[in-house]
Amino acid sequence: MRTAGIILAGGLGTRIRSIHPDKPKPMIPVAGKPFLEWVIRYLAHFGVTEIIVSSGYMGDQISAYFANMETGCRLVFNREKEQLGTGGAVAYCAPLLQNIERILVVNGDSLVLADIHTMLKTHEEKRADISIATIIVDDPERYGGVADRDGWIYAFEEKGGKNPQINGGVYIFNREMLKYFPDERPLSLETTVFPALIGKGYRLAAFRSKAHFLDIGTPESLRFADEFVVEHLKPLLAI
């Protein structure tokens, strides 16, 4: 079964723009490389060889940087003409996924070092429509919570709650799920698409992971990014 990746790299990065005003957030340097390069190499490590990078703000920097780089993947750059939101960006990539049965979606500004092989296997075994990597964090108020029963998600909670199980931003979609996305733009996976699919009876599995997690969305988290990559990601990739 063919699996392709989508990296959501179109965000504006408003909270850290003052630190790197000349770069889109996924191109901020971390441990000597743009953060997006680490995300791509992480997916390649698990055998994902077809990746669509959905870019937006300053997206020309992304396509120019990777134009002649050997990453072990076939990269396609799909630039948004307007802010589409996470769900809108996935839908915008749909025409490029005609012969793909499963879609692995990750964020371009965060990394959950979950075992993608195990996640794909679990997705198939559970016959899920969508699988979402969830993790436990100490500061859940920064993130939206995920509530599940016996591994099946029934609700997504707003930021500011106390539920320590959060959405890790790694998703596996069966391709047919794309046809059920609402037409509205911008469109959020977390607040609109996923709750709507649950309401229609589709099966969203929580892939609970104890994997290390990093996002570079705030000045505070960005300060720890170099250390995170050196300590956790480089050993995984044997770099």
The 8-class DSSP code of residue 101 comes to: S
- Token pair belonging to 49: 């060889």
Note if the bond before 186 is cis, omega within 30 degrees. yes
Quote the CA–CA distance of 65 and 94 in Å, as a whole number. 24
For 70-90, the pLDDT digits (tens) are 888 999 999 999 999 999 999
The CATH fold assigned to 3-237 is Spore Coat Polysaccharide Biosynthesis Protein SpsA; Chain A (3.90.550)
**184: its two tokens:** 């509205």
Query: In the prediction, which pLDDT does 17 show?
Result: 65
Domain edges within the chain = 3-237
User: Given this model, what pLDDT does residue 12 score?
Assistant: 61
Which pLDDT belongs to residue 13?
A: 54
- Please give the pLDDT value at position 14: 66
pLDDT tens digits, residue range 188-222?
999 999 999 999 999 999 999 999 999 998 888 89
pLDDT band at 159 (very low <50, low <70, confident <90, very high): confident
Cα 141 to Cα 17, 158, 189, 191: the distances in Å are 22, 9, 19, 16
